[in-house]
Structure 1
């Protein structure tokens, strides 16, 4: 949670009413250069009033007024507690500190919703959500107030055990309240130019002068002189304005001196020579915030746009040099043959592997296989011994011979089976090399592989094909047919399913459930007569479904038989699979290989024949201005023991 500070005013109505009014936030930049936009602040009245941001010790309630472009005002009330005790002492202490002037500031705790980086450093919080308002100790000097509070904010929170985690702070805590100026200080994040400093100080001076006029006008309306607090604030503002005027004069003199001594820069041809001429250091930024798989996707787009011409693809990739230079490097490596003595040969190879791995990282979390923890990883074409029968033992009498038994073994190996797909895109789409087009290409490639992998992995009808396609993990398994739709039926079916595991001498340790989101939601919404969840561990949250009978749940709609022919409840029903991950062997090289063509003729069919049968219609990619991108992945799987996977079929629990 971030902090933002401002001054407050106290309005004591009577002994029975404790009211504080003030300004919660303004659009003025603070000393760190951060800005909170008042019109983008969201809140829900009333909010808690805390003491020194301690959420364990509330001292009252606060109501925010409607945000305006100039800021947000508030009204906070501290209740008068009659009953003696810690609560009364805490609230009375907080009120006494405010009333006596010992505490002169407030600070909102907020969460950034949308923000951007400012050119001169700092952040502009375009949208934010305010969660609380706190009374905080602030020195009388307004300018020193914010820097002091910001510097002690984190250690104070750390000392109380309330410091937020780094993941909860997406940006540097920022944005002060009113009357703050972004003056450059020692250790500031970005050194501002003289012109920027002058502009900032002039804006601050104008704000302080406006506040002085506001104080005097208020006194004129009331027909009185300034009270003690108003006099102190006015005199402080006047001193600050004078200090700013003196500093602006010094900045003006410094700017004139710099202009008089400035010399023209010669020999600047590009950013490299410009950096050298300034005597600075060229900074190269490694890594970007681009989505995972962008480099691999751009590699595919370059191949597609160049119609397979690697020289032309290299030129296309130069347009992405700043963000994904590895694409250009890989394509360069494809033009000339590499040798083992060439010192530059290995680098392009490694970068290609990085791109392929990056794409696999994008792909794996979206597949059932990628979300099951603990699968047994094995290499391709390596024989793995498997025990098919065990030894036996018998009770024997005194002096009787002991029995001898034999074990039985066989060998299994996962061959190099290949999953391939072709995605056809229009030439206009691949030419639009902006992030939207890249996302479409990337998602098409992912969806093509994910859909086929998931369905073949869990479909009981997939018996596989020798050396071509692995059988599903549920193939050959006799399912437990769902006995009904109620929670009692669920428990009975799960008991039957786990009994089959036990019968197969299979431990449930490391087992996972695989079910659809719709089925998981139906189970999670089942309530007992008291209105409590029947299965409280279930929670539909992205790819994770929580736990079901103490075991983790993996969610995928691809476990629904024949998707599209009926809902899991009223149509074909759904499958709920229980699999022991360590008993499923997986061979996966982790790479996706791509190729592109515009000249090929394709059978636009999900089940093409070889060779094409008579009257087969072929589509010319060249004639239709289309590009075909072929993706291939080597992957194979197999159960070590037959009883490692069981499932409930035709589930319609709701």
Structure 2
């Protein structure tokens, strides 16, 4: 893989988030004379951020902005690693070098795309079409006169140490090779990585082809002009001819050596599998361990340990020891709840971090299941932060000569997303909790997730869900005047969609970033509608794991938790970046088998007639899950919907 170097122009360094924003400027021609055209660079974000081009030891991730003629802006992020060890030391060292100004250059690792280069007059190569694989932080001396070529010479030993030093063979073979360049013998003292005989043969054959092509080019040009070669052309041609003869002789020697090595090769004895193979190679057995448990297993086992312990945290910790091989963090969290903490205990932070990891793991399982989690581009804000909002604008009018100019006022209000809590209780039999096989864990996990998902999805899109002060937010469709479905055929679909989109236009709001939200049943009905020729009316729709493809060019989110209208379903159009979302991303969990519960999805205030069920008496365990989340529309027209849709029915 090729390298291209440039001075690191740091625009901003965010110490809290460990973010570097800067410009990877277009490298000037170095001693070799190579240039990478930034407008021809291809890449896929995010890419790995390396330290000194060591692909085995990444230090972060990087995202490139759109290329410009002046270069490519980038944003690199180095994570915070809390657990002591080699990974933390490596990332902290890379971050410290950047902050201290010791590392002042970046380098892209790239490959040349097909025919994506041209040879310049000075012999250098201009890479016109390239694919960037990674960005590296590399060292540059403090000497202001240092050149990019010096960075290359510093970087070369590091690449050689990892077995990845680039060579001349990595450069594209070009027909512009001239006799003035020495192609075969490297300069004295240069460090060349050992190659196999097959690799050397391939490299020299490519060089020979390039030089032969140049010789033919010289002779054809002379033939077209009806002249002989001049002095300089003759010198170049004769030099190329001598080099071709030398390469031919060298290729014969390489072929003979390759055949001799093949004949002398001996099979490796005693290898019967991966273990014996490792022992024969190095005497060291390599064993790879990994946690392939489903997302949310740690958090689920934490809930089960609490339930099985029946309120005794020490007993719960003992139960968690049975999962020590796969989820040891469960026992550590429970033990942390038993011992008294203090700020001087070096082991205090680690159990807390592991609890955060468990809660975040569960949230990762939960988010893709919700409508909120699948909508990209929601405007995330903190809790209890006032956000100014403009509700009316100023006005202007034409004014005649000597006439007074009008005065107008603007109107503003504030949006405040307070802490609102979404909670649910799942009741399980003690026998189910005691079954510690994967099937039981899956049931517990699904119940915990479904408790929150169903309520959150329904209240997020239900037009009848109004705000309750300090308790719950209004749905994004609350207060919206819907477009009533005008029929059931494809023409009615197009008319109704036009009416909904027109409401966005009237509100002076772009449809960029908008998404459709509908049920799978409605998406299926639309996808199956056909014209008289048997072709799909809306061929962008597809039902696949919560995503429905596209509908009139906009992405579709599917959920069966959308309440239906009086005579049909609802199809919602929402502009994502106009919806504010405050979410702490964690689920608070508690369990008990001693409480008495009102077994109702809509419990009332307890009274003399309320029927309560004793969990202890019925040998059951209650697990309570809570989540703090709130949302609001930034502007009233950001959400519209079609009501009572029954498209595709006869």
Q: TM-score, normalised by structure 1?
A: 0.56
- Hey, what does 2:334 align to over in structure 1? 331
- Hey, what does 1:615 align to over in structure 2? 609
- Hey, what does 2:577 align to over in structure 1? 582
1:498 aligns with 2:501: yes
Query: Pick from 276, 289, 292: which aligns with 2:292?
Result: 289
- Hey, what does 2:641 align to over in structure 1? 647
Conserved 8 A contact 1:598-1:622: yes
Distance 1:539 1:186 in 2: 54
CA offset digits 1:8-39 (Å, max 9, x no partner):
xxxxxxxxxxxxxxxxxxxxxxxxxxxxxxxx
Q: Secondary structure at the match of 2:549?
A: strand
Conserved 8 A contact 2:271-2:277: no
- Hey, what does 1:606 align to over in structure 2? 601
Conserved 8 A contact 1:560-1:573: no
- Seen in structure 2, the aligned counterparts of structure 1 residues 575 and 187 have a Cα distance that, compared at 3 Å, is farther
Conserved 8 A contact 1:314-1:331: yes
- Seen in structure 2, the aligned counterparts of structure 1 residues 184 and 596 have a Cα distance that, compared at 3 Å, is farther
What is the Cα deviation at residue 185 of structure 1? Answer: 6.7
- Hey, what does 2:458 align to over in structure 1? 455
Query: Pick from 308, 317, 320: which aligns with 2:320?
Result: 317
Q: How does 1:547-586 map to 2 (within 5 A)?
A: 547-561=550-564, 572-586=567-581
Q: Secondary structure at the match of 2:531?
A: coil
Distance 1:579 1:322 in 2: 46
Distance 1:402 1:184 in 2: 95
- Hey, what does 1:432 align to over in structure 2? 435
Distance 1:358 1:513 in 2: 28
- Give the RMSD, CA atoms, in angstroms: 2.5
Q: Secondary structure at the match of 1:445?
A: helix
Distance 2:525 2:615 in 1: 46
Query: Pick from 192, 213, 227: which aligns with 2:276?
Result: 192
1:637 aligns with 2:631: yes
- Hey, what does 1:98 align to over in structure 2? none
1:304 aligns with 2:307: yes
- Hey, what does 1:483 align to over in structure 2? 486
Conserved 8 A contact 1:454-1:558: yes
Distance 1:489 1:187 in 2: 71
Q: Secondary structure at the match of 2:548?
A: strand
Q: Secondary structure at the match of 2:359?
A: helix
Distance 1:188 1:384 in 2: 68
Distance 1:638 1:363 in 2: 21
What is the Cα deviation at residue 541 of structure 1? Answer: 1.4
Query: Pick from 523, 530, 533: which aligns with 1:530?
Result: 533
Query: Pick from 541, 545, 566: which aligns with 1:542?
Result: 545
- Seen in structure 2, the aligned counterparts of structure 1 residues 530 and 382 have a Cα distance that, compared at 3 Å, is same
Conserved 8 A contact 2:275-2:285: no
What is the Cα deviation at residue 532 of structure 1? Answer: 1.3
- Seen in structure 2, the aligned counterparts of structure 1 residues 280 and 462 have a Cα distance that, compared at 3 Å, is same
Q: Secondary structure at the match of 2:275?
A: coil
Distance 2:549 2:465 in 1: 28
- Seen in structure 2, the aligned counterparts of structure 1 residues 617 and 403 have a Cα distance that, compared at 3 Å, is same
CA offset digits 1:21-60 (Å, max 9, x no partner):
xxxxxxxxxxxxxxxxxxxxxxxxxxxxxxxxxxxxxxxx
- Seen in structure 2, the aligned counterparts of structure 1 residues 387 and 288 have a Cα distance that, compared at 3 Å, is same
Q: How does 1:103-502 map to 2 (within 5 A)?
A: 190-192=274-276, 285=289, 287-502=290-505
Gaps of 5+ in 2: 1-197, 203-266
Q: Secondary structure at the match of 1:628?
A: strand
Q: Secondary structure at the match of 2:550?
A: strand
Distance 1:501 1:186 in 2: 73
What is the Cα deviation at residue 472 of structure 1? Answer: 0.5
Q: TM-score, normalised by structure 2?
A: 0.56
Distance 1:192 1:322 in 2: 26
Distance 1:185 1:381 in 2: 70
- Seen in structure 2, the aligned counterparts of structure 1 residues 420 and 185 have a Cα distance that, compared at 3 Å, is farther
Distance 2:408 2:611 in 1: 63
What is the Cα deviation at residue 505 of structure 1? Answer: 1.5
Distance 2:382 2:613 in 1: 39
Q: Secondary structure at the match of 1:192?
A: helix
Distance 1:331 1:443 in 2: 22
- Seen in structure 2, the aligned counterparts of structure 1 residues 523 and 579 have a Cα distance that, compared at 3 Å, is same
Q: How does 1:64-83 map to 2 (within 5 A)?
A: none
1:507 aligns with 2:510: yes
Conserved 8 A contact 2:387-2:415: yes
CA offset digits 1:268-309 (Å, max 9, x no partner):
xxxxxxxxxxx9789683x41100000000000000000121
What is the Cα deviation at residue 374 of structure 1? Answer: 0.4
Q: Secondary structure at the match of 1:191?
A: helix
Gaps of 5+ in 1: 1-150, 156-182, 198-278, 563-570
